[in-house]
Chains A and B, each alone.
Chain A
Amino acid sequence: MHRVWGVLAVFVLLPLSALAQGAARDEREQEMQEMRARIEKLEKLVTELQKEKETNNGVATAPAAGDQLQAAATPISHEEHAVGPAMPMDHSASQGGATNLVERKFPDLHWRGFADVDFSALDEKNTKSGFNLGQFILHISSPLSEKVSVFTETSFTAQAGPQATAYNLDVERLIIRYDYNDFFKLSFGRYHTPISYWNVAFHHGTWLQTTIARPEMIRFGGRFQPVHFLGMLAEGNIPSGSLGLGYNAGLGNGRAGNIARPGDSGDVNSNRAWVASVFSRPAALNGLQVGGGIYGDLISPVPELTGNPQFRELITSAHIVYTKETPEFLAEFAHVRHRNAFTQTEFNSDAAYVQVAYRLPGEASKWKPYYRFEWSNINPNDPLFSVATQPAPMVDDLTGSTVGVRYDITSLAAFKAEYRHTARKATEPVINGFFLQTCFTF
């Protein structure tokens, strides 16, 4: 009991220390404001001096604001380009300053880290409560030219189990992308499969997501859906005006022998997996996205099942999300069909979740309470989900609720607390759990 109080005390102290840091930040912000005001004053002075100099030299001055407004209208109606008359103004300024500031350099490496520290306590038998280090994620992006960019995401994860001695290092994503224009971008590499909204919206950054954990239907290391995809992907917008349509279409190795992993070192059966998805972000409602996807693959599980069967997999999914935080709404559904390629026997399973959250107004805007309902109906005879020889955990039916609150300590760090209630089969006991997480990006 004392341990639990100790844990709670630590998490209460975190926001307090954040408040202290906030005061120092306010001072810096005030200094920055003063600097900006000085720059504005100096710029006005430079403009006035330049005008004076030009007048003395008999050179025409720049037009006044009102004249410029008029001049601005002229090119628009006459399909010309320049706003005002071509004045020899600010020549010296245009050779430096912002021109250099916005000039892009190649490569231009940007690093960002994500990490989380967690605490869990469950009433399940044979589980232990305690802290654990979540994933440490290193995200690197760099443009190589105006139209070519590289993105990587690497994770360091503490090994599980009493015999663990080290951390697992995994290349989660590695993408090189060529942008022809907004309608066609072609990339090669290792992706998060664009079959699920959550999978491509939050990746491994727990700070990005409202809740502590992913929904079970798209959890890392799970069998239900292929989280990763190795191959090539075309993506872009579809000319559709206010509908804001977009697409993804990919070809890759699909699932490996261990069906929770992609074929990083090669295709297990020389049969390409494919994925296609479309979505709409209507201009009329900023923050809304509606979409769906389809994924096909031939699965050859290793270790081989009795009779060495292969399975045709077809996944269909749909989502509707509204990402404004007042409220936030996420809902996804996925249907997975496995067909035995020899016997043609079909196994169908479904899973879904609905999550709602609301960023409180005014002074309480750092708080965001949330609720998620998860459900899955798994065919118990599907060998890919129920066989024990696969390294990843088996997939079971689920009816679960998660209720919690997120507190944003700063705009780049958050604290979350949640309670989970999970029911599996009628014969299995209900599990309740209490979870804490501090997550951040830097």
Chain B
Amino acid sequence: MRIRKTVNVQMCLVLACLAAFSLIAVRTAGTPAEADVAIVVNPDNPVNNLTLAELRQIYLGERQYWKASSPVVVLMRSSGSKEREVILRVVFQMTEQRYTQYWVAKVMRAEASDPPASLFSHGIVQEGVRGNPGAIGYVYMNDVRSGVKVLRIGGLLPGEPGYPLR
């Protein structure tokens, strides 16, 4: 009888441990780092940190050159992607329709010769960043591959408290 009781207690302990483990696993899987949008540039780009205002200037086409006078090549994800929604909401502060109108106006004003390239997948964005020293793009943190550099935004990396692109 006593042995049975001990087994039951042990079973309960195992179940409790399993429950705790699975809770931790679920929490770990949903860490903010993976849900954050990382800004990636070519590893040869000396820039390591941008403020959100600077990032906005770059994406709005108001700042078109890196400090070394090399042109910025802005890469966007094509419409419908979740990362693009984050960038439109936080950086552009625009709807999809307004974004289209903004770039038509920008080109018409001779402030840019064409709108940013819209690319179908995070893989293509990262290939573009790897292949172009002036390129800047964005991907979810858990999609970041080697060969690109993740920038700090306002001194923060994806996953850190207060990171703005989520």
User: Given that A68-B150, A242-B53 are known contacts, is A93 also in contact with B127, CB under 8 Å in the complex?
Assistant: yes
Q: Within the assembled complex, what's the spacing in Å between the Cα atoms of A97 and B117?
A: 13
Q: Is the CB of A325 within 8 A of B147?
A: no
User: Given that A65-B33, A108-B114 are known contacts, is A99 also in contact with B127, CB under 8 Å in the complex?
Assistant: yes
Indicate if B6 sits at the interface (CB-CB under 8 A).
Answer: no
Which chain A residues lie closer than 8 Å to B63 at the CB level? 182, 237
Which chain A residues lie closer than 8 Å to B108 at the CB level? 112, 114, 139, 153, 203, 205, 208
Dominant secondary structure of chain A at its interface with chain B? mixed
Q: Is the CB of B110 within 8 A of A177?
A: yes
Q: Which of B9-17, B18-26, B94-102 contacts A (4 or more CB under 8 A)?
A: B94-102
Which chain A residues lie closer than 8 Å to B100 at the CB level? 411-412
Q: Which of B34, B71, B125, B145 has the most CB of A within 10 A?
A: B145
Indicate if B166 sits at the interface (CB-CB under 8 A).
Answer: no
Contact of B146 among A85, A143, A203, A242 (CB under 8 A): A85
Q: Is the CB of A83 within 8 A of B127?
A: no
Which chain A residues lie closer than 8 Å to B117 at the CB level? 101-102
User: Given that A182-B64, A201-B109 are known contacts, is A66 also in contact with B33, CB under 8 Å in the complex?
Assistant: yes
Q: Is the CB of B104 within 8 A of A441?
A: yes
Q: Is the CB of A286 within 8 A of B107?
A: no
Q: Is the CB of B113 within 8 A of A81?
A: no
Q: Which of A5-13, A29-37, A383-391 contacts B (4 or more CB under 8 A)?
A: A29-37
Q: Is the CB of A179 within 8 A of B107?
A: no
A173-193 interface (Cβ within 8 A of B) = 173, 175, 177, 179-182
Q: Within the assembled complex, what's the spacing in Å between the Cα atoms of A296 and B145?
A: 56
Indicate if A76 sits at the interface (CB-CB under 8 A).
Answer: yes
Q: Within the assembled complex, what's the spacing in Å between the Cα atoms of A126 and B100?
A: 42
Contact of A110 among B33, B109, B113, B150 (CB under 8 A): B113
Contact of B157 among A72, A201, A242, A283 (CB under 8 A): A72
Q: Is the CB of B122 within 8 A of A43?
A: yes
When each residue 31-73 of chain B gets 1 if its CB lies under 8 Å from chain A and 0 otherwise, what string results? Answer: 0011000100001111011000100110000111100010101
Indicate if B165 sits at the interface (CB-CB under 8 A).
Answer: no
Indicate if A75 sits at the interface (CB-CB under 8 A).
Answer: yes
Indicate if A428 sits at the interface (CB-CB under 8 A).
Answer: no
Q: Is the CB of B128 within 8 A of A69?
A: no
Q: Is the CB of A36 within 8 A of B110?
A: no
Indicate if A151 sits at the interface (CB-CB under 8 A).
Answer: yes
Contact of A408 among B97, B104, B152 (CB under 8 A): B97
Indicate if A90 sits at the interface (CB-CB under 8 A).
Answer: yes
Q: Is the CB of B141 within 8 A of A65?
A: yes
Nearest CB to that of A187 among chain B residues?
Answer: B110
Q: What is the number of residues of chain A that contact chain B, defined by CB distance less than 8 Å?
A: 78
Q: Within the assembled complex, what's the spacing in Å between the Cα atoms of A75 and B53?
A: 23
Contact of B128 among A98, A181, A203 (CB under 8 A): A98
Q: Within the assembled complex, what's the spacing in Å between the Cα atoms of A86 and B81?
A: 29
Which chain A residues lie closer than 8 Å to B30 at the CB level? none
Indicate if A39 sits at the interface (CB-CB under 8 A).
Answer: yes
User: Given that A141-B114, A181-B69, A408-B97 are known contacts, is A98 also in contact with B109, CB under 8 Å in the complex?
Assistant: no
- State the Cβ distance, A280 to closest chain B Cβ, in Å: 12
User: Given that A47-B145, A68-B150 are known contacts, is A286 also in contact with B56, CB under 8 Å in the complex?
Assistant: yes
Which chain B residues lie closer than 8 Å to A103 at the CB level? 131-132
Which chain B residues lie closer than 8 Å to A82 at the CB level? 43, 147, 149
Q: Is the CB of B43 within 8 A of A81?
A: yes
Indicate if B87 sits at the interface (CB-CB under 8 A).
Answer: no
A159-182 interface (Cβ within 8 A of B) = 173, 175, 177, 179-182
When each residue 68-96 of chain B gets 1 if its CB lies under 8 Å from chain A and 0 otherwise, what string results? Answer: 01010101001011000000000001011
Contact of A69 among B46, B53, B159 (CB under 8 A): B159
Q: Within the assembled complex, what's the spacing in Å between the Cα atoms of A83 and B150?
A: 7
Nearest CB to that of B69 among chain A residues?
Answer: A181
When each residue 111-141 of chain B gets 1 if its CB lies under 8 Å from chain A and 0 otherwise, what string results? Answer: 0011001011111111110111001000001
- State the Cβ distance, A315 to closest chain B Cβ, in Å: 21
Which chain A residues lie closer than 8 Å to B49 at the CB level? 76
Which chain A residues lie closer than 8 Å to B105 at the CB level? 201, 205, 208
Q: Is the CB of B130 within 8 A of A99?
A: yes
Which chain A residues lie closer than 8 Å to B127 at the CB level? 90, 93-94, 97-99
Which chain B residues lie closer than 8 Å to A281 at the CB level? 62
Q: Within the assembled complex, what's the spacing in Å between the Cα atoms of A325 and B142?
A: 35
Q: Considering the complex of A and B, which 5 residue pairs feature the smallest CB-CB distances, nearest first?
A: A99-B131, A98-B128, A72-B150, A283-B53, A98-B127
Residues of B at the A interface (CB closer than 8 Å) are 33-34, 38, 43-46, 48-49, 53, 56-57, 62-65, 69, 71, 73, 75, 78, 80-81, 93, 95-98, 100-101, 104-105, 107-110, 113-114, 117, 119-128, 130-132, 135, 141-150, 152, 157-159
* 11 pairs, CB–CB < 8 Å, chain A vs chain B: A32-B78, A36-B120, A65-B33, A68-B150, A75-B149, A81-B46, A86-B146, A98-B124, A141-B113, A149-B113, A151-B110
Known interface pairs A179-B71, A200-B109, A208-B105; 5 further A-B residue pairs with C-beta atoms within 8 A, sorted by A's residue number: A65-B141, A87-B146, A99-B127, A141-B107, A244-B57
